[in-house]
Structures are given as structure tokens and as C-alpha cells.
Homo-oligomer: A and B are copies of this chain.
Amino acid sequence: MLMKLLLYGLLGAGIFIVGILLGHFAIEKGGPPAPEWVEDVSRDVDEGLIERFIKEVDNIEIQENLRMLTSVPHMATTEGDEQTVQYMLKRWGDPESGLDDAWREEYKVYLSFPSSILPNKVTVVSPSNAVLFTAREKELAYEPDQAHPDVVQPYAAYSPPGHPKGKLIYANQGKVSDYEYLNTTMDIDLNGTIAIVRYGGAGRAAKAINAFPFGVIGVLVYTDPLDINDGRMSDANETYPHSWYLPPSGVERGSFGSQFGDMRTPYLAAKEHTYRIPESDIRGIPPIPIQPIGFEDAYALICELGGQAAPADWHGAFNCSYTIGGPGFNSASLYHNSDVKLDIYNKGELKNSSNVMGVIRGSVEPDRYIIYGNHRDSWVHGAIDPSSGTSVMLEITRVLGRMVKKGEWRPRRSIIFGSWGAEEFGLIGSTEYTEEYYSKLRERTVAYINVDISVFGAGSDYAAFIHFLGITSMDIAYTYDRSKTKARIYPAYHTAYDTFNYASQYIDPGFTSHQTVARTAGNVLLRLADSLLVPFNCSDYAESLEQYLQTSLNFSSKLADKGISMEPLKNAVAKFRTAATSLNKMIRDSTLTKETPLKVRRINDQLMLLERAFLDPLAFPEKYGYRHVIWASKSSPVPTFPGLADAFARAQESNLSTDWSQVHKHLSIITQAIEGAAHTLGDVI
């Protein structure tokens, strides 16, 4: 019986084993086993990881980053700048919280500096050559930072040197219409005059470029307390260090160039051996000397002017009457019959500027890039501009770097971090980078994220990415309640008062706004890097195009008179909408985690390359670097397609048939670009 049981037992076990074997080998599980990569390629963003990232972003770390970055002035290519290069390399090379790799890239770029020996001077000189007034050479020190020997004297970068002397006139904001008003309406001969203008209304360089044809020989520019200080003027109790407002001696420095990128190597990366155009061929810089001064000095000059009253909208916040100048000072003034003299000693120099680059390699699609960047160089200590952004970037890389070093995470796509050099001189570092790596960036970059000034963002390094390369770009900044201040930007912008103390006392005590920006930017970055589907909604683009179209239709009756139809443009926008809707439907109807990775890639490429379809390198031959026919800069205030808006404005003014032809041409350019973009979004074949 035992034997029998044993036998039956063995028999049963035998049957059992045969069953197992049959079950394992003879019954197909719907094909061979999946290769390891199948799961990887279809993985989507991990929400838990994002939550963890948000939790780990630390406001005090950001504060300490800022303290370190702002310890000395770090104007582009100075010793202070090199210190920040080393600091970035150290942080990104950190074995515990650094990136996969970090390195520097150098360009030899054309900058402009005041003389280290002869400071620029602004004086009032009597007919007998007595100096009656001298503008302040440096800003007043309220804290040790302003007294640092490396604080650069306020100056207008790219202003030519020179010693113009002439009668002063007040020209409001230095717009063409301002000079025209003086010259035509007021019948003032501007030849040989020095203009004083306030910031705002026209670009920095434009204030001098606009003045030149009227015979003006020099320009002073200042920030009126109306435009930046909500009228406050007194440093006894109103301005910094008593508040965030600009002290009377504060001067906004800046680049007085109107293009982006190194001026002497257009479209070429500025390497040591690169061909450079002669300085005389540079366009878009002041043809006459220009110098910025504080409103304390501007007050001393403007309030002494003679001549008739300036129009009401030319008035700033000074407690004197704004007159336009005789030209020159009023008869009651000590300066009567005196000239204003500028002594400008600026010099162009070729200097080595560095970008610091860092990378986290992608696991699944290393050939798809998310680029995150900010410039590193400042005018003085640059606490807000740019170090608020850099502090945030360093905190993001610290948190992500730690996860990478611990092996806890690696993004689906590659992330490239860029700490750009020489932005303040015209977005130079970022632009040279886009020129050098044009091809691979163009083919592989999903998006560019810029976080510069974390509050009150202005123009910044995204320009070359969106305008030149056609890469979807985002600029992130915390902003203010505009009902509480009329300041066009934070008041210490580009002055020696943009310091750690200023930032931590008045801009973001506790650094919680910075923390919020870091969390937001990091969240966006992680979604761009890890989402299976690139998180772009092309229907939003359709909406923008439709708004532009609606506005442009105001031109249609005038254009119809000239035999130009807007129907093709209408049809193109409608085609784009249809293509966007159908792509979105296709996305909705698909379970992307189950689809072939090549189908997901296909859709992602459609989304990534959508922006590229709007590039036309020949659309704006006169606008350096602008190739994007939807977002290029324009002169006309009409919110529509820039080429069309400007051509229409020109044709309406001149009514020349050649100018109407240009309107037709721009209509065709835009129509073709929108149709091309619709093809990009439509069925791939």
C-alpha cells in the first residue's frame, strides 16, 4: 500500500511536472518575452517625484546661493565674473549634488567699457570755460557694497567716446516723435545741442540714434522718479536703504546696442579665429556720445532749463517746471549761456567671456534636450539681475543632482543647464551658443526655460532660442501687484544698489518668492523632461494665430482696394486649427503607454518642431537674428503678425505701390509659414 501510494504519488508528481512544463513552454503568452527596454520607453512622468522635488526645494539654500553669488561685483569678463564661473563649476561638479558633467565654453566677444584711468564726465561749462557743475561720477555708498573698488562707473556700453559740448534741451524720452516735436512744432534748431532724456518709451540706443539726424551731438539719459520711484526722491527717508526705491544718485547702466549677440561676428560663434566685421560696420549702436546720470543730477540740470513749457505728458516727478530749453538754461540760472559738456572715454574691447554648461543625460531619449538657462554676469553685484535667477537654478540643480547621484532618478530626455556670459552687453553668451550649436540644438531641443530676474522680468536670453532657433521658450518670473507701484521694473535695476541686502530686505525677505519660482520652474522642467508626451497644447497656438488674424482683418478693406486678398491667410489659419484639433483628437484617442515608441516620438516631433515651421531666415533681412514670423519684434503697435503690421503701417504712410507690394509679400510669407506649420501638425503622410 505504501508502495502503491508512493507509486501514485510519483505518478501524480510526474503528471504535475509534465503539466508545469506544458503550461510554461507549450502555451504561448501572446509572443516572446518583452525586451527590457519596452517598459522604459513607455514610462510617463512620476508625480511622486515632482512632489518630492517641490518638498526638497529650500528657501535658505537659495538665500545662501544669492549671498555667495553677490559677494563681489561680477560684470562680464571681470575677475568677479571668473569667481562666479568657478563657483558654478564647483557646484555642478559636486560629487554629491552635481550634474553628470559640467564645463566652460569661451567666446571672444566685443564689449565696451569706460576707461579705467579717465572717468566719463558730465559738466556745465561757462562761456569763459569755468566748470560750474559736475555730475556725480559714482553712486553714493549706503553700504560697503557700493564702495567696492570693482563697482563700474555708470556708463552707456557701446556709446562712442567723444567730447561734445552744446546747449541743453529736454527731449522727453528720445523718441523720433519727441525730437520732431522740438524741431518741427517748436521750431528749435537742434544742431549742436545736447539732449537730456528720460528712460522709457524708446530703447536705450534709440535715444541717441533718433537724435543724430536732427543734429544733436550728445545725449544724457536719466531715470525720472515718476517712472521708477512712484515719485519718491529723498534719500533722507524715502529711498533705499529706507525702502526699495532708487536713491537720487542711482544710475541705470546698460547696453546701448539694439541687436543681440556679439556685434562683430553676426551669425558666427565668436571663436578666437572667427572673422570679425570692422567696428565701423557695427549697426544699431549710438552714433553720438551718450551717458546715463542719476536723477539728482538730472534735477540740477532740467530745473535750470529755459525755453517754453514742455507738453504735459513730458513731465516727470520733479518739483520744478519741465521746460524744453532755450536751447540752454534760463536767464535766471547761474548756468545761463553755459554749455553742457560730455567727456566720454568708453572703449570697445575683445574679451573672453564664458558660458558654464552642465548636463544630466537622458535615459530614453538622450537626443532630446530641455535647456534651462540664465545669465551669470551683472552690471554691479546684480542681486536681482541675474543672481536671483541663478540662485534658483542652483537650487534646482542641487535637488535634481542629488537624485541623479544617488541613482534614484534619471530624466527621460537630456537636460542642459546654461549659465550664460555677457548677457548685459546684448545676450551675447546665449546667442553665441545658439550660433555654434545651431544644427544640433535646432533638431533636438524640445524647449528652453529662462529664469533671470525672478521678479519683473525684462528681455533676456530666451531671445536667440525663440527668434533665431525657433525653439519653444518660456520665461518665468514672480511679479508684483501692479496696482501698488507704477515702477516699470524694480528700482535698483542695473545700479549699484542691486545688492544682497536690497534683495533680502525689500524684494523677498525669507526668500519664499524665490522658492516658489524654483518650485514652479522645476516642475515645468521635470514635466518637459519626463512626460511621455511633450506637454505642449497646439490648440493654444491656433488661438494665438486666430487672434492675430482677427486683428489683421482690420487691414482687409484697405488691402482689397489694392487688389490684395486676405482669404489665403484666413484659409491658412483655418487649416492650422483643423490640423491642431485632429492631432489633439489623435492624442486623446491613443493610449500612448501602449503605443509603439516611434508613434509617440512622431507626435512629440510634431509638437517640438511646430515652432520651427514659423522660421523664415529671409523674412526680415534688416532685423538681425529675427527669423520667427509670428513673434519677431515690430515697430507697429498693432498686435498682429509683425511683418504684416510693419509693412502695412509703412504702406499706409507712404501709399507707394512698392510699399503695398511689400504688404502683399509679407502676407504671402506668413500664409506659407502657417500652412507649413499646419503640415507639421497634420497627418504625417
Contact = CB atoms under 8 A, between A and B. Distances in A.
Interface in A639-685: 661, 664-665, 667-669, 671-672, 675-677, 679-680, 684-685
A34 B24 contact: no
Interface residues of A, number: 87
Interface in A418-449: 435-440, 443-444
Contact of A605 (B15, B367, B565, B665): B367
Contacts of A618: 267, 617
Given A34-B31, A361-B685, A596-B37, A437 B268 contact: no
A16 interface: yes
A96 B209 CA distance: 70
Interface stretch (A186-194, A270-278, A387-395, A630-638): A270-278
B367 A685 contact: yes
Interface string A16-34: 1111111111010111111
Contact of A12 (B15, B37, B601, B602): B15
A132 interface: no
Contact of A33 (B21, B29, B416): B29
Contacts of A510: none
A636 to B, nearest CB: 19
A267 B627 CA distance: 14
Contact of A20 (B23, B33, B414, B616): B23
Contacts of A23: 19-25, 27
B274 A668 contact: yes
Interface string A584-605: 0000000000111110011001
Contacts of A684: 366-367, 414, 440, 444
Interface string A539-583: 000000000000000000000000001011000000000000000
A40 interface: yes
A661 B436 CA distance: 21
A36 interface: yes
Nearest to A20: B23
Contacts of A92: none
A33 B32 contact: yes
A32 B34 contact: yes
Contact of A27 (B20, B268, B414): B20
A38 interface: yes
B596 A41 contact: yes
B24 A679 contact: no
A106 to B, nearest CB: 14
Nearest to A278: B661
A309 interface: no
Given A19-B17, A32-B33, A34-B33, A440 B676 contact: yes
B443 A605 contact: yes
A362 B40 contact: no
A3 to B, nearest CB: 15
B612 A443 contact: yes
A369 interface: yes
A364 interface: yes
A60 to B, nearest CB: 32
Contacts of A320: none
A59 to B, nearest CB: 32
A316 B685 CA distance: 53
Contacts of A677: 439
Contact of A16 (B15, B29, B274, B567): B15
A169 interface: no
Contacts of A444: 684
Interface in A262-295: 265, 267-269, 271, 273-275
Given A16-B18, A33-B32, A439-B612, A598 B27 contact: no
Given A15-B12, A31-B34, A598 B267 contact: no
A609 interface: yes
A436 B671 CA distance: 10
Contact of A19 (B19, B275, B612, B675): B19
A366 B362 CA distance: 25
Contacts of A149: none
B364 A598 contact: yes
Contacts of A685: 359, 361-362, 366-367, 369, 414, 416
A364 B568 CA distance: 35
B275 A661 contact: yes
A147 interface: no
B609 A443 contact: yes
B601 A269 contact: no
A283 to B, nearest CB: 15
A369 to B, nearest CB: 7
A595 to B, nearest CB: 8
A399 B24 CA distance: 44
A409 interface: no
A613 B439 contact: yes
B440 A680 contact: yes
Interface of A: 8, 11-13, 15-25, 27, 29-41, 265, 267-269, 271, 273-275, 359, 361-362, 364-367, 369, 414, 416, 435-440, 443-444, 565, 567-568, 594-598, 601-602, 605, 609, 612-613, 616-618, 661, 664-665, 667-669, 671-672, 675-677, 679-680, 684-685
21 contacts: A17-B19, A19-B19, A31-B33, A31-B34, A31-B36, A32-B33, A32-B34, A34-B34, A41-B598, A271-B568, A273-B565, A273-B567, A275-B661, A366-B602, A367-B602, A369-B685, A439-B677, A443-B609, A443-B612, A443-B680, A617-B618
The 4 closest A-B pairs by CB, nearest first: A19-B19, A23-B23, A20-B23, A23-B24
